[in-house]
Structure 1
Amino acid sequence: MLFNSLEFALFLPTVFLLYWFVFQKNLKSRNFFLLLISYLFYGWWDWRFLSLIAFSSTVDFVAGQQIEISNTKIRRKLFLWLSICTNLGFLGLFKYFNFFAESFADLMYMIGLQANPWSLNIILPVGISFYTFQTMSYTIDVYRGQMKVEKDLIAFFAYVSFFPQLVAGPIERAVNLLPQFKVKHDFTYEQGAKGARLILWGLFKKVVIADNCAVFVNEIFANYQGASGLELMLGAVFFAFQIYGDFSGYSDIAIGTAKLFGFNLMTNFRTPYFSRDMAEFWRRWHISLSTWFRDYIYIPLGGSRVGKGRAVFNVFVVFAISGFWHGANWTFIIWGVLNAVYFLPLLLMGKNRANTNTVAEEKVLPSFSELWQIANTFALTCLAWVFFRAEGVTVAYDYIRAIFHNDLFGSNNLLDADVIFLIIIWIIIEWQGRHLGVDEYIKSFNKPIIRYLFYYLFVLIIFLYGMFNESEFIYFQF
């Protein structure tokens, strides 16, 4: 079920009313209700994958119990690795089996041997990369002693399958989200209003910005060989807008929807395209995944508290795995490695924490130096996004090469002027809300009439310019 679908427009208010007016007294019945509707939400795509998430949840629940009661370190590690191997095994089977089989065949061909790879004709379960990482964080944290084991089966299953963030995050840690299923929530107007603002802003970013950009981006990437250099540059830039509007729009809707039910999810984006260097960008982009890799891979490898050579190795490992997490294609691995190359000079010069504050703090506009830094960071990001968007490494290389070899101008197929105007408005609002978030910026309007005019205006824009073709969110494929 898509957030930008008619089904969800009917589903959400129905669930909201039942949650607050029918299941308001008993905590266990509320959690059981959330579990059922979360399974309904997930099963809307393909009910067969419900058995997969149920099995994964069962394994992690049992593994956590056994880790808690085990008397020996060997036994505790055994159940930890049972959880990790089960989750990564499912992920590897559904997402990466064909990639490894085809890569092995290509390697054999390069050395002069013939290999006929055996591939699996299976569908990638929606959101598998997200909920497997979420459940693994639980067993790892229990093993580390950072949280108590959960003994309530219903609460744990509801945590794993919580429908707002099930299929594309944020990737919530059990230590943050699971305790929220253990307390009775009371509806407050303030939290409901904040949730509604986030949903409205997220829908605007998805159906107005991302989906309109997608039309232009798809055409350029499909016909890049005959496009002008300007079109190709704009294709990369507008894909950057598309993926940010699409993914951060999903996160805003997810966080806002969770707030309607009294739950608080972590912020997943903090205006990343206003970053002054790549280290700052990765502190602001897909925060739930970046911090997951930091806490469960980068720091256990030694992080930066080791020799320079080992620190460089750690950075490349984390970024390469991050790229591979996104998809079974060499383009994603190159995208990850390229970002590691961007990040390394900052780490080696000790400048990776140089920009931890908000840009142009207590100022209306950035300085020329900050603007130059933002432009450079955005340009590097757009270059990397070409690999992320391209269907293959050769296509990405040819696309970038064509930017510099094709005529700069020509029969340029530029975006509609209305869409460009809306993008400019979007960027201005993002800039204004860079400190506290756009929803808090809207809330800060002193006069209620201004706030409501803002809401009505964006509802009108969504209906006038929104692409209501129920296009999937980009990160559903990951």
Structure 2
Amino acid sequence: MLFNSLHFLVFFPAVVGLYFGLPPRWRELLLLLASYYFYMSWRAAYALLLLATTLLDYYSGYRMSQLPSKRARRPYLYLSLASNLGTLFIFKYFNFFRAAAGQLASGLHLPAAALPAFGLLLPVGVSFYTFQSVGYIIDVYQGRLEAERNFGRFALFVAFFPQLVAGPIERGGHMLPQFRRTHELDYARVVSGLRLMAWGLFKKVVVADRLALLANPVFNNPRQHPEGPLLVLAALAFTFQIYGDFSGYTDLARGAARVLGFDFNLNFRQPYLSASVPEFWRRWHISLSSWFRDYLYIPLGGSRVGPARAYGNLLAVFLISGLWHGANWTFLAWGGLHGLYLVISTWARPGRERLAQLIGLAAHPRLRRGLGMMVTFILVAYAWIFFRANTLSDAVFITEHLLSGWSSLTGRQLGILLLDFSQHYRPELALAAFSVFTMLLVEYLGRHRSPQAWVAAQPFAVRWSGYVGLTLLILYLGIFNSTSFIYFQF
């Protein structure tokens, strides 16, 4: 069931009405049943996998809560990690590593065992709910969180439908206390949640799905479009498409939860306004980047170790982050690029400060930040090519041809090329540009607080003009073909 589908349009109001209409003691059960129904609408059998994960982690957490020392708790930690990560490996990575091992053995002229390939369909959202459950188990093991004794409540924490399939990846310490509270119908919260959902729907169906019409033809057949201007256009289209798609999902999830009385953590904070790659990762997919920081980077030693090992930690974390996104060399390359960006950024920081002082940029912080934003955006947009490309060879081909054809292209020829591309694939470039401009303008105006808070602070006439305008934009410019969200594949 997609947030941008008629199915959800019926499902969500029904859940909200029942939730606030039932006595408080039945509400958790309602949300749990609704969450499993939501998940089973994709493939019912995989609800058993979700239930098995929940049962094992509930048992592991409960047993650890009865043991006084980390040493005594460790077997249950290992049991949970082996189960969760083993399941993730079998469904998501086994075939990838099987193929990679076969290629390596062939390249080294070594005999290789003929391992069978698994023809398993990847369970939707498995990476998200696995990481959420693993985070809970580690927190209980470390003593940072008391294990949840109520099985139904823990099952709801793992399966809560707004963030089940694409995050945000929530922490037990943040969500479990909210499930224990009784939430009453609150007009202000409902309005705020619906406003956030409307903005998320705009970013998905008006921005992301329209930009997909520009990006997909090129990325799916890059050798049919070797012209540098079209490749750059496609790369820029995907850069804003993935932001509109993923942050749009997050806004829909946070808005739906808010209507029901729950608060999710912020997952995006105007990431393309970042002036450095480290800042980008403090603003992009915050729940995942903070998960890797807290549960992998810091345990590896973080930056407290020597420079060489700290750089190695950064590269390792981002390579694993790339692999988390998918079993493909393209994702590893994308993660490796960002790891390399961060290593260079950290290593070059003293030199950058000295250079800024030398050329006078230190006295002009706005200019310096503007230059930093431009460089960061280019680096991030370039890395997205590897994320989106179907194969590593496609990504390399696009990279090699990004600058081709520019020097011999006049303005008139460029216009004809873009117009021909637009007419052939039917997306209107002007509408795509308008939708991106609208999204960026609203988020820029709300850069010091959330765009929804900025809208809420406006006078009544301005607010309602915005609501009507946004509704009309969604109805007239939205692409309503129930296109899946990009991050559902992870």
Instruction: Flag the 1:52–1:351 CA change in 2: closer, same or farther, 3 A.
Output: farther
Measured against aligned partners, the alpha-carbon deviations of 1:384-404 in whole angstroms (never above 9, x if no partner) come to: 000000111111000110112
RMSD: 1.7
* 1:5 and 2:5 aligned: yes
Change (3 A) 1:351 1:184: farther
| Conserved 8 A contact 2:219-2:390 | no
Distance in 2 between the 1:193 and 1:152 partners?
Answer: 31
Corresponding residue of 1:474: 486
Deviations 1:359-392 (A, max 9, x none): xxxxxxx933322211111100011000000111
Describe how 1:19-418 pairs up with structure 2 within 5 A: 19-21=19-21, 23=22, 25-27=23-25, 29-71=26-68, 73-113=70-110, 115=112, 116-227=114-225, 228-350=227-349, 367-406=366-405, 409=409, 411-412=417-418, 413-414=421-422, 415-418=428-431
Structure 2 equivalent of residue 458 of structure 1? 470
SS at structure 1 position matched to 2:181: coil
The alignment of Structure 1 onto Structure 2 pairs a total of residues equal to: 463
Secondary structure of the corresponding residue to residue 52 of structure 1: helix
Change (3 A) 1:34 1:100: same
Amino acid at match of 1:434: R
- Aligned residue for 1:422? 435
CA-to-partner distance for each residue in 1:68-112, whole Å, 9 max, x for gaps?
112554431000111111100110000001001000111011112
Question: Separation in 1 of the partners of 2:337 and 2:49?
Answer: 34
Q: Which residue of 2 aligns with 1:359?
A: none
Q: Is 313-322 or 421-430 further displaced after alignment? A: 421-430
Q: Deviations over 1:216-248 (max 9, x none)?
A: 101111332243211111111110100000000
In structure 1, what is the Cα distance between the partners aligned to 2:476 and 2:68?
63
Partner Cα distance (1:73, 1:281) in 2: 35
Q: Which residue of 2 aligns with 1:443?
A: 456
> Per residue, is there more helix in 1 or in 2?
2
Identity value in percent? 43
Unmatched 5+ stretches in structure 1: 355-365
Q: CA deviation at 1:184?
A: 0.8
CA distance in 2, matches of 1:31, 1:71: 31
Tell me how far apart the structure 2 counterparts of residues 237 and 419 of structure 1 sit (CA, whole Å): 11
CA contact (8 A) 2:105 2:111 kept: yes
Residue aligning to 1:360: none
Structure 1 pair 182–266 and aligned structure 2 pair: CA distance change class (3 A): same
Q: CA deviation at 1:117?
A: 4.5
Give TM-score scaled by structure 2 length.
Answer: 0.92
The letter for the 2-side match of 1:440 is A
Question: In the aligned structure 2, how far is the partner of 1:462 from the partner of 1:121?
Answer: 39
Q: Work out the CA distance in 2 between the residues paired with 1:194 and 1:422.
A: 22
Render the CA deviation track for 1:40-92: whole Å, top value 9, x for unaligned.
00000000001000000000000011111125544310001111111001100
* Conservation of the 8 A alpha-carbon contact between 2:229 and 2:405: no
Question: TM-score of the superposition, structure 1-length normalised?
Answer: 0.94
CA distance in 1, matches of 2:406, 2:111: 42
How far apart in 2 are the matches of 1:75 and 1:275? 44
| 1:16 is the counterpart of 2:16 | yes
The AA in structure 2 aligned to 1:141 is D
Per the TM alignment, residue 189 of structure 1 is displaced from its structure 2 partner at its CA by 1.6
